[in-house]
Amino acid sequence: MKHLTTTLLGAALATATALPAFAQETQVIGVSIPAATHGWAGGMNFHAQEAIDRLEEVYPELDFVLATASDPSKQVNDIEDMLATRNISALVVLPFESEPLTGPVKAVADSGAWVTVVDRGLAQEGIEDLYVAGDNSGFGRVSGEYMTGALPDGGQIVALRGIPTTIDNERVEGFEQAIEGSGIEIIDMEHGNWNRDDSFTVMQDFLSKHDRIDAVWASDDDMAVGVLAAIEAAGRDDVQFVLGGAGMKEMIARTRDGDPMIPANVTYPPAMIATAIELTAVGLTSSAPVSGTFTIGSVLVTQENAEDYYFEDSPF
Amino acid sequence: MKPDLHVLGPILALVALILVGAAMNSNFLSAANVTNVLSRSAFIGIIAVGMTFVITAGGLDLSVGSMAAFIAGLMILVMNGLLPTMGPGWPLVGVGVGAAIVAGLIAGFLNGFLVTTMRIEAFIVTLGTMGIYRSLVTWLADGGTLSLDFGMRTVIRPIYYDGILGISWPIIVFALVAVLGEIVMRRGAFGRHAAAVGSNDQVARYSSVDVNRVRMLTYVFLGLLVGIATIMYVPRLGSASSSTGVLWELEAIAAVIIGGTMLKGGFGRIWGTVIGVLILSLIDNILNLTDGVSPYLNGAIQGVIIILAVILQRERKAGG
């Protein structure tokens, strides 16, 4: 209903103001993203909705269709429906998986619509007009560089990995390259699946297995929550700090307030979806060029700059 | 007397795992590690005891994992909501615990009502409620994570981490639930009725067993136990999200079957279920404590051991 009103209002306004010259046509931007099945995706959904609400105010001539999918095949259906029934002029898509989404997104591009791909690239190059990319190996590198700075004399660390995916592999490779030759040794590494409960269990077992752990690369803030609970329950004081990642607001707040266990964070902002929607809107409504690749760097957050990365309203 | 593999199978598998674990890592049998493994087994364990009754009576419940996540979310919301009026303290914990138990009973009753009165297949009913509870918790959490107020978390924390005489509360509760379950299954009329219904509900009906009432009670009992498991779960990390309790239903069902309960119903064994739960958590624990196995293969190793444990007890039948 809201979309409909906006469209009608937009059309009415456009007709009223631009009557003598030409009646401006409403353009539809389709936004297809994975559903909020974990913390980061929840934040991404929040920022997508917020960006759409804001842009509908700013650009009355634009209309938005938002679809969230809980698996790749549902996302394919969503995109096919958008193309067939909504006549979209542009598609902003964060692919669930690269391979299954490549064909349907290519069909959208072939129909002449603008395509913006976010975070996960497609399996075939050159389909998208704009690629807003998160930097996973950069995420690992920044984390590794922080680790070498925080443990200048080297040390024994354990690492928790996410769900086995390309994203996770790129992060770990970036991290390993950054700590190479620094004297920091990863004595153990297991998958915590970006999940609090799994990482709690894995960390408990790491603590049973190793008598000395100097620091933990939890690589994600949800996993850091589980790791911290396990350390606290074991009553161990050899672990100096835990480095999470992705910038969950509770963790950012602890860094801001100077918690010695959470001295830093590395961002992988879910708000990159807002960047993508915004750039797409600019591209459709103005002559400013927005095609190409826009890489969103992973930034190190410490106590000094934590306030800038704290978003009160975001669920993540 | 010739040793009965059907009975010994799960015990042998458990002993073998303990020996392997002890040989691979000297910390395996340390008090800390044993406490960790038993405490984390408690959630699935408490649920699996209830699942044993449901399966024995010829039913199935796929919704328990989602139900646990939903109840955990509800418990956190209730406690956060009443915090300004009641203040942090044990009375508020009592309210949270009450909410979890009531929610568990209602959820179990709903499953039971749809299976018995509405006569819908248990698989379909609980597949449906599984999706419903999973969505509800995602919706309650707005896609993110529901976190218990920090002050409250300190109050409630001892439920998971403390105990009596060095034995933590989850282990004590799990043990109590298992012993009570074993007594009801073995000695109580209810256990016999559940087995009768599961083995042949027509015959049970002619023997004047109230089939629907027995089935209904197994689901309500399971719902109650899911509520109790959630009460143990929430104090651990003080949060719930859509990733809470994922696949708990399959772990619970696997534990029940490893323990020697028949998936088609008619026969159930609570102590076997307890051993099944311990086998499953030990596999995870041993894989984390040892090097040399790629973590990518953890699932495969679990699968092989589950199948082996079940083959061990089927051997007698296959041999005639």
Mean pLDDT in residue range B241-270: 90
Please tell me the total count of domains within chain A: 2
Q: What is the mean pLDDT of residues A166-177?
A: 90
Confidence of residue B196 (pLDDT cuts 50, 70, 90): very high
State the pLDDT at residue B306.
79
Instruction: Give the best residue of A163, A187, A204 to mutate against chain B (max B CB count within 10 A).
Output: A204
Q: Is the pLDDT of residue A19 over 80?
A: no
Interface of B with A in 275-304 (CB under 8 A): 284-285, 288-289, 291, 295-296, 298
Alpha-carbon distance of B30 to A204, in angstroms, equals 13
Alpha helix stretches (DSSP H) within A151-289: 166-179, 196-209, 221-234, 249-256, 272-285
Q: Both A62 and A149 in a single domain?
A: no
Per-residue model confidence (pLDDT) at position A17:
42
Q: Are residues A119 and A174 in the same domain?
A: no
* A206 vs B contacts (CB less than 8 Å): 288
Residues A216-233 have pLDDT tens digits of: 999 999 999 999 999 999
Strand partners, A117: A93, A131
A26: in domain:
yes
Q: What is the pLDDT of residue A2?
A: 45
A303 in a domain, yes or no?
Answer: no
Report the distance separating Cα A259 and Cα B74, nearest Å: 30
Q: Do A196 and B30 touch (CB under 8 A)?
A: no
Best CA proximity match to B233, nearest among B297, B310, B169: B169
Residues of B in contact with A39 (CB under 8 A): 144-145, 241
Least confident of A59-73, B124-138, B253-267, B281-295: B281-295
Percent of chain B that is helix, strand, coil (3-state, to 5): 75, 5, 20
* Contact assessment for residue B204 and residue B211, using Cβ atoms and an 8 Å cutoff: yes
For B142, the closest of A42, A201, A206 (CB atoms) is A42
Please name the member of A46, A233, A250 whose beta carbon is closest to the beta carbon of B143.
A46
Shortest distance between the Cα of A188 and any Cα of chain B, in A, equals 8
pLDDT at A42 over 60: yes
Taking the CA of residue B125 and the nearest CA in chain A, the distance in Å comes to 21
Residues A163 and A120 both lie in one domain? no
Of A156-165, A285-294, B67-76, B309-318, the least confident: B309-318
- CA B268/CA B278 separation, integer angstroms: 17
One domain, residues A117 and A46: yes
CATH code (residue A225): 3.40.50.2300
pLDDT of residue B315: 55
Q: What is the pLDDT of residues B275-293, one digit of tens each?
A: 999 999 998 898 888 877 7
Provide the number of CB pairs (under 8 Å) joining chain A to chain B: 92
- Tell me A267's DSSP state: B
What does the domain layout of chain B look like in residue ranges?
Answer: 5-318
User: Are A115 and A149 part of one and the same domain?
Assistant: no
Q: Using the beta-carbon criterion (under 8 Å), do B289 and A209 form an inter-chain contact? A: yes
Q: How far apart (Å, rounded) are the C-alpha atoms in residues B18 and A187?
A: 24
Domain B5-318, CATH class in plain words: mainly alpha
Q: Are residues A94 and A168 in the same domain?
A: no
Q: How far apart are the first and last CA of chain A?
A: 28
Q: Does A254 touch chain B (CB under 8 A)?
A: no
pLDDT of residue B4: 64
Residue A110, in any domain of the structure:
yes
Q: Which two tokens stand for residue B288?
A: 């984390």
Shared domain check, A85 and A9: yes
Model pLDDT, residue A24: 59
β-bridge partners, A27 = A62
B36, B291, B296 ranked by CB distance to A164: nearest:
B296
A212 in a structural domain: yes
pLDDT given for residue A23 in this prediction: 42
Range of the domain at A216: 136-266
Q: Does position B64 have pLDDT exceeding 90, yes or no?
A: yes
Q: What's residue A172's pLDDT?
A: 94
| Average pLDDT of chain A, as a whole number | 86
Residues B122/B115, Cβ–Cβ less than 8 Å: yes
Look at residue A138 in the predicted model and tell me its pLDDT: 92
Residue A299 has pLDDT above 60, yes or no: yes
CB contact set of B165 (below 8 Å; sequence gap of 6+):
none
**Chain-chain contact of B288 with A206 (C-beta, under 8 angstroms):** yes
Answer yes or no: do A65 and A175 share one domain.
no
pLDDT of res. B313: 67
> What is d(CA B56, CA B191) in angstroms, rounded to the nearest whole number?
9
Per-residue pLDDT band for A13 (boundaries 50, 70, 90) equals very low
Angle between the N-to-C axes of helices B64-86 and B248-258, in degrees from 0 to 180, rounded to the nearest 10: 120
Residues A189 and A213 in one domain: yes
Nearest to A13 by CA among A3, A23, A4: A23
- Tell whether A313 is covered by a domain: no
Q: Is the pLDDT of residue A310 over 80?
A: yes
> Using CA atoms, how far apart are residues A132 and A128, in angstroms rounded to an integer?
10
- Residues in CB range of B303: below 8 A, 6 or more apart: none
Q: The complex's ipTM?
A: 0.81
| Pair A75, A149 in one domain | no
| CB B280 within 8 Å of CB B305 | no
Q: Are residues A84 and A152 in the same domain?
A: no
Residue pLDDT, tens place only, A84-138: 888 899 999 998 888 888 888 998 999 899 999 998 888 888 889 999 988 899 9
With a CB cutoff of 8 Å and minimum separation 6, the contacts of B77 are B140, B146
Cα B106 from Cα A198, distance rounded (Å): 29
The C-alpha of B165 sits at a distance from chain A's nearest C-alpha, in angstroms, of: 17
Higher pLDDT, A293 or B220: B220
What's the per-residue H, E or C state across B228-288? HHHHHHHHHHCEEECCCCCCHHHHHHHHHHHCCCCCCCCCCCHHHHHHHHHHHHHHHHHHH
A234-251: per-residue pLDDT in tens?
Answer: 999 999 999 999 888 889
Look at residue A20 and tell me whether its pLDDT is greater than 70. no
Percentage of residues in chain B having pLDDT higher than 90: 62
Cα dihedral B197/B202/B205/B211 (nearest 10):
40
Give the DSSP per-residue string, A89-109.
SEEEE--SSHHHHHHHHHHHH
Give percent of chain A with pLDDT exceeding 70.
91
pLDDT for B92? 94
Q: Are residues A161 and A231 in the same domain?
A: yes
